[in-house]
Amino acid sequence: MIDLKRISKWVNVGGKPNFILKDINLNIKEGEFVSIMGPSGSGKSSLLNIIGMLDDSSEGEYFFLEQAVHSLKEKQRSQLYKQYIGFVFQAYHLIDELTVYENIETPLIYQNIKSSERQAMVADILDRFQIVGKKDLFPTQLSGGQQQLVGIARALIGKPKLLLADEPTGNLNSRQGEEIMELFKQLNNEGVTIIQVTHSEKNAAYGSRIINLLDGRVDLS
Amino acid sequence: MNKELIPALRSFRKYPVFSLINLGGLSIGIAASFILLIYSQREFSTDRHFKDANRIARIGTDFFHMGPFAISQPQLPLLAKAGCKDVENVTSISIEDKTSVRLSTQERAFNDILPYSIDAEFFTVFSYQASAGSIPQMGLAPGETILSENSAHKFFGNTDPIGKTLLIGKKMTPYKVVAVLKEGFEKSHLEPQLLLPRSTAAPANPNNWMSAALYNYVKLKPQGSIAGLNAWLETLRRKVIYPSSGATISYQEWTASNMAVSFTVQPLTSIYFDNNAKFDTSPGGNLTQVRLLSTISILLILLAIINYINLVTARASIRAKEMGLKKTYGAPRSTLVGQLLKESILFSLLAMLIACGLIQVILFLYQYSTGAALTGPIPFLSANYIWLLFFSLAVGALAGLYPAFYLTGLRPLLTIRSTTTSGMGSNSHIRNGLVTVQFVIATGLVFLSFVVYSQLLYMKNKDKGFQSEGIVLVDNIEGMKDRATTFQQLIEQQSQVASTSICERIPGSKGVAMYSYRTAAMPKPLSIQTFPVDDRYISTIGMHLSDGRDFNRHLASDTNALILNESAVAALGLFNPVGSVINGSEKVIGVVKDFNYASLHEKIGPAILRYSTRPRTLAIRLRGGNTASFLDWLGRASKDFQTEAPTISFLDDNFARLAEKERLLGQAISFFTILAIILATLGLIGLTIFTIERRMKEIGIRKVLGATRSDILNLISSQFIRLAAIASGIALPVSWWLANRWLNNFAYRISINVGTFFLTEALILLIAFAVIGLLTLRALAANPVKNLRTE
């Protein structure tokens, strides 16, 4: 599903390239649950952003479902991730001005799905996550765990094949974290490919594979 | 430096674009509205600088119900001074023809100088002051003259004119300069260039009340009143003028008849704006324009204040934290309010300094783009600049008040803790309201400008009933007498000339001629505008004969013939006009289509052409070709026929002069509308930058969720576009109503069509979209997703 070949990413600091990712080769198959680990600054989030097509690599090739992402135009790329990828963030990144319902609905609007269909899909997912009662509340009226639940619901609403999560439990207490991880496990069992960035060994253990990053390289030791 | 103000200065450095927009907007607002304030104040106080201005009045006349004249009879002053108990003093000024002034017989003459001939009482009524020499309070002695500062400079440059001799007129009569009039910033309807003494011999014919020549001004006694003067004039009419007219009808009938003579007394202070009297000394002011511009001055400063409030409260999240922290340290609210007020006053004083320079720039730009000065140069170091200071302080206080109370009223805990803008949204309603007000102002002004411009264009292109373009007029050729025909023949030989006509009156000119006409069926005669013309008039100026024929110089009977316009046919109630007889013996031989002879404010009235070969004006229709060289030749050639050079002008210019006030109004409103748009645009730029900054995270999230550029553009602009739509809903009906009121002053006017509304909306939306679009695209160019990483 995902094939990264010699991916590097650098930024110029004072005229010299400063490597964030160096020569990453990675292959992830459909249905995997991968945990990316590593100390702060090791390039975990950058890697996730490149996989999620939110950022470009400076060098290297990236194939997603056999398509050469590195040579796609901005528009086609956004078409691709809109359709196949869902994102979950550590800070939830819900839109404060929108209700729970509207937050979940937003990706569908951008996928040009009809209003009646959107209603059914949002109702479904609210039901599944048992947050029907919260649908008219605003994000600030929810606890962190609930907000993250909404974040995940929003990521899943478009029925993505791949779920990218950047420290999804980082801002949650351990009980809430466990619930989220259980949910991920369940989703993975239903066929969703998941890549998560995490600091926690315990959370990483939920996955089927762990990739360790160190100073922008995959640590094979 | 005051400790409290340091954060303000640092924030200026930290947000330079924001602060510059804010400062720039405030400076433009202060400068422009200050100029307009000074302008309106100056216009409204025209003539009020004269001592006891409210006790001075001008007596004008109305002959035969032709409308008011600024001049009145020469015998009136003596009678008024002797007979009217309300009158303290009377002065009369004679203003006749322009003359030439020479410094010596060898030097070239300064032409077109209009002298005012004054009597001994002039300076007791009008408190003129001298900038050099001294004012002869008892009037000028024979052989003495007084100059205006302007003329003095023109004639003598920088040398002292006092005691020098001027040779005035064709006869080069010597006059000694005894004083120079001080010309201040004040305006007056009297615009003396050169004062000459006038002999005050008793009028030649004191019983003739049918002609007027002098500008008569009375100064009332302190206890006197205009009503008292009017009562005396009424007695004069009944006891003296009515009997002297030799009328056989009763006094009541006489006052209503077209033989009546009446008086119009105008207080000095209202002459300037109430200026429809014929032969007035100055074109006068335009009350509509002054009112409009004073309104605009308020709107401009309102725009600037709103910009300030919006930009300051928009940044509230940054300042609120500072305020919150200070509050938790125990600073009382009053101190904080004081600090913020000081900041905004400091800011407006800074803006004032910039405005001082901008005032000159704006005045220059105005003169450059319209060709007319809005005010004279505002004298430096005058009281006006004290006003500017107070004005700026007031603006600073006013603009700072709301942000100060808003920022200090926030709960401290909330402001310190929150890193997002949640909880800060409460002032967005007020901000939206203020932005709406800005859109209302901009939309309204744009709409009004469009209407004024369309009307101007319409007036320029309206079919006047004849072809005014390409016609050159040679005026004041009475002196040529019999040689006029030779002159005419000489001109017709020129290759550039298509045809010529000798006439006594031309449409759009100053002169008035009204004759009485009466058909057999009419009980009373009618006064009708009359144009004595020759037989080539109609073809030369291009009027359209709709019935009958033109005059023919070879038919002796045509000396008694008339050609009516269609309105005259209707007014005289003629069904078969051609062939009918008027005034017993005058025969109607033709009918022309209605034509405009006055400004488009007035409806075309009845007008009659009658045959005459008396020369006053020669109208020349050009064929094209080299007009400049023809005019050159014409100027030289006409001097050979008449010693006093005739005036040469274009007929089109005469009509343009009639619409001069409208033209100036159009230019003034569009100039300040553009300034208003600049101000509103600055505000919109600032607010959009802020909105984008505040919603950067949201934009990032939406991008991740699949939003395209146009989705984001839509998101940011829809808020402003909604406000613009609401604003149009308010502005368009109001300005439509105002525009219609203005248009109702014209007998010939455009009707406002949907296109004007559409164009206004299009322009406003275009500007809004351009601003918002460019700023949003700029923000999107820096990948907004990056903002999501900062945890």
Contacts of B115 (CB under 8 A, 6+ apart): B95, B99, B168, B193, B194, B195, B196
**Cα separations (Å) of B515 from B237, B530, B550?**
23, 6, 20
CA-to-CA distance for B500 and B474, rounded, in angstroms?
Answer: 11
Q: Please count the residue pairs, one from chain A and one from chain B, whose beta carbons lie less than 8 angstroms apart.
A: 52
In chain B, which residue's Cα lies nearest the Cα of A139? B422
Could you report the per-residue pLDDT of B156-176, keeping only the tens digit for each? 988 999 999 999 987 889 999
pLDDT above 60 (res B424): no
Phi, psi of B113, deg, nearest 5: -95, 125
Listed in sequence order, the residues at least 6 apart from B165 whose beta carbon sits closer than 8 Å to its beta carbon are: B174, B175, B176, B177
pLDDT at B426 > cutoff 60: no
CB–CB of B785 and A55 under 8 A? yes
Percent of chain B with pLDDT over 90: 29
Total number of domains constituting chain A? 1
Q: Which residues between 8 and 27 in chain A have a beta carbon less than 8 angstroms from any beta carbon of chain B?
A: none
pLDDT, position B423: 40
For residue B190, give every residue at least 6 positions away whose Cβ sits within 8 Å of its Cβ, in sequence order, or none: B47, B93, B116, B126, B281, B282
Please tell me the number of Cα atoms within 13 Å of A28 on its side-chain side.
28
Question: Which two structure tokens, joined as six digits, stand for B144?
Answer: 């003495």
- The DSSP H or E segment spanning B56 is strand B56-63
pLDDT at B74 over 80: yes
Band (B602; pLDDT cuts 50, 70, 90):
confident
Q: Please report the beta strands in B125-207, taking only residues with DSSP state E, as ranges in sequence order.
A: 130-133, 144-148, 165-168, 173-181, 194-197
Backbone angles phi, psi at B559, to 5 degrees: -65, -20
Using DSSP bridges, classify how beta strands B586-592 and B581-582 pair: parallel, antiparallel or unpaired. Answer: antiparallel
If you average pLDDT over residues B431-460, what whole number do you get? 90
Residue of A nearest to B695 (CA): A95
Indicate whether B571 pLDDT > 50.
Answer: yes
E strands, B534-603, in order: 545-548, 561-565, 581-582, 586-592
Rounded to a whole number of angstroms, the distance from the CA of B405 to the nearest CA of chain A is 25
Q: Which of A6-10, B762-766, B778-782 has the weakest average pLDDT?
A: B778-782
Average pLDDT on A175-196 reads 91
Question: A196: domain range?
Answer: 29-56+71-218
How crowded is residue B246: how many other Cβ atoms within 10 Å of its Cβ?
Answer: 7
Are B708 and A110 a contacting pair at CB < 8 A? yes
What does the pLDDT read at residue B739?
A: 92
- Report whether pLDDT(B381) > 60: no
Percent helix, strand, coil in chain A, to 5, is: 40, 30, 35
**Are the beta carbons of A95 and B789 separated by less than 8 Å?**
no
pLDDT higher than threshold 80 for residue B488 = yes
User: Which of B420, B705, B785, B789 to substitute to test the interface with A, most A CBs within 10 Å?
Assistant: B705
pLDDT digits (tens, 9 = 90+) for A59-100: 999 999 988 988 888 788 888 888 899 999 888 888 888 899
Q: How confident is the model at residue B412 (pLDDT cuts 50, 70, 90)?
A: low
pLDDT of residue A104: 93
Report the pLDDT averaged over residues B560-577. 90
Could you give the dihedral angle defined by the CA atoms of residues A115, A118, A119 and A121, in that order, rounded to the nearest 10 degrees? Answer: 160
| Burial category of B114 from C-beta neighbours within 10 Å (exposed 0-12, middle 13-18, buried 19 and up) | middle
| pLDDT of A164 higher than 90 | yes
| Residue B215 and residue B95 in contact, taking contact as beta carbons nearer than 8 Å | yes
C-alpha to C-alpha distance for B760 and B384, rounded to whole angstroms: 36
pLDDT digits (tens, 9 = 90+) for B101-142: 888 888 888 888 899 999 999 999 999 999 988 999 888 989
DSSP, res A72: S
| Percent of chain B residues past pLDDT 70, beyond the cut | 94
CB B363 within 8 A of CB B35: yes
Q: Mean pLDDT throughout B27-38?
A: 89
- In angstroms, the Cα distances linking B302 to B248, B399, B666 are 65, 9, 22
Q: What is residue B15's predicted lDDT score, i.e. its pLDDT?
A: 77
The pLDDT value recorded for residue B628 is 84
CA angle B246, B252, B255 (to 5 degrees): 70
| pLDDT band, residue B258 (cuts 50/70/90) | confident
Unique residue bearing structure tokens 């400062």: B23
| Residue from the list A91, A97, A110 with its beta carbon closest to the beta carbon of B707 | A110
pLDDT the model gives residue B55: 94
Token representation of residue B736: 């439509």
- Residue A95, chain B, CB below 8 Å: the answer is yes
Q: Give the torsion sign (CA, B497, B502, B505, B509).
A: positive
- Exposure string for B68-86, b = 16+ CB within 10 A, e = fewer: bbbbbbbbbbebbeeebeb
What are the chain B neighbours of A158 within 8 Å (beta carbons)? Answer: 706
Q: What are phi and psi of B695, to 5 degrees?
A: -100, 15
- Quick check: B650 pLDDT over 50? yes
Which residues does chain B have within 8 Å of residue A140's beta carbon, measured at their own beta carbons? 422
Shortest CA distance from A79: residue in chain B: B706
The pLDDT score that the predictor gives to residue B740 is: 93
CB spacing of A55 vs B707 below 8 angstroms? no
CA–CA separation, A48 and A35 (whole Å): 11
pLDDT top residue among B9 and A91: A91
Of A183-187, B376-380, B438-442, the least confident: B376-380
Instruction: Label residue B61 by pLDDT band (50, 70, 90).
Output: very high
Task: Please answer yes or no on whether A82 and B711 come within 8 Å at the CB atom.
Answer: no
| A103-108: long-range contacts, CB 8 A cutoff, minimum separation 24 | A103/A139, A103/A150, A103/A154, A104/A150, A104/A153, A104/A154, A104/A157, A105/A157, A106/A154, A106/B702, A106/B705, A107/A82, A107/A154, A107/A157, A107/A158, A107/B705, A107/B706, A108/A157, A108/A158
At B790 the pLDDT is: 47
Q: What is the mean pLDDT of residues A52-58?
A: 86
Task: State the distance between the two ends of chain A, measured CA to CA, in whole angstroms.
Answer: 25
Q: Of the ranges B14-28, B149-163, B647-661, which is most confident?
A: B149-163
The DSSP line for A135-170 is: TTS-GGGS-HHHHHHHHHHHHHTT--SEEEEESTTT
Q: Does A199 contact B at CB distance below 8 Å?
A: no
Q: Return the closest-CA partner of residue B549 out of B533, B560, B534, B538.
A: B538
Q: What residue spans define the domains of chain B?
A: 1-45+285-423, 53-271, 438-460+657-791, 477-645
Name which of A45, A87, A95 is nearest B698 (Cβ-Cβ).
A95
CATH number at residue A151: 3.40.50.300
Scanning every residue of chain B, which has its alpha carbon at the shortest distance from the alpha carbon of A46?
A: B789
Residue B416 has pLDDT above 70, yes or no: no
Lowest mean pLDDT among A87-101, A192-206, B468-482: B468-482
Average pLDDT over residues A140-169: 90
pTM beyond 0.90: the answer is: no
> Tens digits of per-residue pLDDT, B497-528?
889 999 988 888 877 788 888 888 888 888 88
Pairing of strands B144-148, B173-181: parallel
Tell whether A148 lies on the interface with B, counting CB pairs under 8 A: no
> Is the Cβ pair B708, A78 closer than 8 Å?
yes
| Mean pLDDT of all residues belonging to chain B | 85
What is the b/e burial string over A196-205, where b = at least 16 CB atoms within 10 angstroms of the residue's CB? Answer: bbbebeebbe
